[in-house]
Amino acid sequence: MLQRLASPRTGGLLALAAAITLLPLALSNKYFYDIAILVGLNAIVCVGLNLLIGYAGQISLGHAGFFGLGAYGSAILASRYGWPPLAAMFTTTLAVAALAFVVGRPILRLKGHYLAMATLGLGVIIFMVITTEDKFTGGPDGISVVPFSIGGFVLQGERSWYWVVGALLLVAVWLALNLIESPTGRALRALHSSEVGAEVVGINAADHKVMVFVISAVFASLAGSLAAHYSGFVTPGKVTFLHSIELVTMVVFGGMASTFGAVVGAAVLTTLPQLLTVFKDYEMMVFGAVMIGTMIFLPRGVVPSLARLFQPPQRNAPGKDKGAAA
Amino acid sequence: MSAQFMQYLLTGLTVGAIYALVALGFSIIFNASHVINFAQGEFVMIGGMATVSLSAAGLPYLLAIPLAVAAAALVGLALEKFAVEPARGASVVALIIITIGASIFLRGLAMVVWDKRFHALKPFTGDTPIAIAGATILPQSLWVIGVTLAIVLALSWFFGRTLLGKAMLATSHNRLAAQLCGINVRMVLFVSFGLSAALGAIAGILIAPITLTSFDVGVMLGLKGFAAAILGGLGSGVGAVVGGLALGIAETMSAGYLSSAYKDAIAFVIILAVLFFMPSGLFGTRGGERV
CA dist., res. B91 & res. B87, Å (int) = 9
Q: List CB contacts (< 8 A) between A304 and chain B.
A: none
Tell me how far CA of residue A290 lies from CA of A64, A294, B101, in angstroms.
21, 6, 8
Contacts of B178-181 with C-beta under 8 Å, sequence gap 24+, read: none
Residue type, A319: G
DSSP per residue over A194-255, as a string? Answer: -HHHHHHTT--HHHHHHHHHHHHHHHHHHHHHHHHHHHSEE-GGGGSHHHHHHHHHHHHHH-
How many CB atoms are closer than 10 A to CB A231?
18
User: What amino acid occupies position A92?
Assistant: T
Q: How far is B285 from chain A (nearest CA, A)?
A: 12
Going through chain B in order, the beta strands assigned E by DSSP cover: 130-132, 135-137
Q: To the nearest whole angstrom, how far is the Cα of B131 from the nearest Cα of chain A? A: 34
pLDDT of A202: 84
Report the CATH number at residue A91.
1.10.3470
Of B100, B109, B265, the CB nearest to A285: B109
The DSSP line for A115-183 is: HHHHHHHHHHHHHHHHHH-HHHH-GGG-EE-PPEEETTEEE-SHHHHHHHHHHHHHHHHHHHHHHHHSH
> Can you tell me the mean pLDDT for B59-87?
90
Cβ–Cβ contact A137 with B under 8 A:
no
CB < 8 Å to A241, chain B? 219, 223
- SS3 for B136? strand
Q: Could you list the residue range(s) of the whole structural domain that residue A188 is in? A: 11-19+28-325
CA closest to B106 among chain A residues: A285
Residue of A113, A269, A300 to mutate when probing chain B, most B C-beta within 10 A: A113
Any chain B CB within 8 A of the CB of A288?
Answer: yes
Give the whole-angstrom CA distance, residue A246 versus residue B213.
26
Q: Which of residues 152-181 of A touch B (CB under 8 A)?
A: none
Indicate whether A2 belongs to any domain.
Answer: no
Alpha-carbon distance values, B34 to A106, B96, B174, B204, B276 (Å): 24, 11, 11, 24, 23
| CA–CA separation, A144 and A233 (whole Å) | 4
Residue A309 lies in a domain: yes
Q: Does A4 fall in a domain?
A: no
A169 Cα to chain B: minimum distance (Å):
25
Residue A148 lies in a domain: yes
Mean pLDDT of B142-160: 91
- Taking CB atoms and an 8 Å limit, are A291 and B104 in contact across chains? yes
**Measured distance CA(A229)–CA(A320) in Å, rounded:** 41
- The residue among A19, A60, A326 whose CA lies nearest residue A189 is A326
In a domain, A3, yes or no: no
Segment B202-221 shows an average pLDDT of 88
Q: Does A281 touch chain B (CB under 8 A)?
A: yes
CA angle in degrees (0–180, nearest 5) for B282-A122-A224: 165
Amino acid A323: pLDDT: 40
Rounded Cα–Cα distance for residues A234 and A78 (Å): 13
Contact A284 B108 (CB under 8 A): yes
Cα torsion A46, A48, A52, A54: sign: positive
pLDDT of residue A324: 42
B166-211 pLDDT, tens digit per residue, is: 888 888 888 888 889 888 888 888 899 999 999 999 999 999 888 8
> Are A121 and B227 an interchain contact pair (Cβ–Cβ within 8 Å)?
yes
pLDDT tens string B89-123: 777 788 888 998 999 999 999 988 888 888 888 88
Q: Is A312 helix (H, G, I), strand (E, B) or coil?
A: coil
* Contact (Cβ atoms closer than 8 angstroms) between residue B223 and residue B38: no
User: A interface mutation test: which of B27, B85, B88, B98 has the most A CBs within 10 A?
Assistant: B98
What domains appear along chain B, each with residue ranges and CATH number? 2-277 (1.10.3470)
Q: For A112, which of B83, B92, B103 is closest by C-beta distance? A: B92
pTM: 0.86
Asked if A245 and B93 come within 8 Å (Cβ–Cβ), the reply is no
Q: What is the mean pLDDT of chain B?
A: 87
Task: Give the total number of structural domains in chain A.
Answer: 1
Q: Is there a domain that residue A55 lies in?
A: yes
Q: Determine whether the interchain pair A285/B264 forms a contact, defined as Cβ–Cβ distance below 8 Å.
A: no
B residues 75..114 contacting A (CB < 8 A): 83, 86-87, 90-98, 100-109, 111-112
Write out chain A's pLDDT in tens, 326 residues: 566 666 667 778 888 888 888 888 888 888 888 899 999 999 999 999 999 988 888 889 999 999 999 999 999 999 888 888 899 999 999 999 999 999 998 899 888 888 888 999 999 999 999 998 888 888 888 888 888 888 778 888 888 899 999 999 999 999 999 998 888 888 888 888 888 888 888 888 888 999 999 999 999 999 999 999 999 889 998 898 888 988 988 898 888 888 888 899 999 888 888 888 887 788 888 888 888 888 888 877 788 877 777 766 544 444 444 444 43
Q: Which amino acid is at A94?
A: L
Of B98, B111, B281, the CB nearest to A281: B111
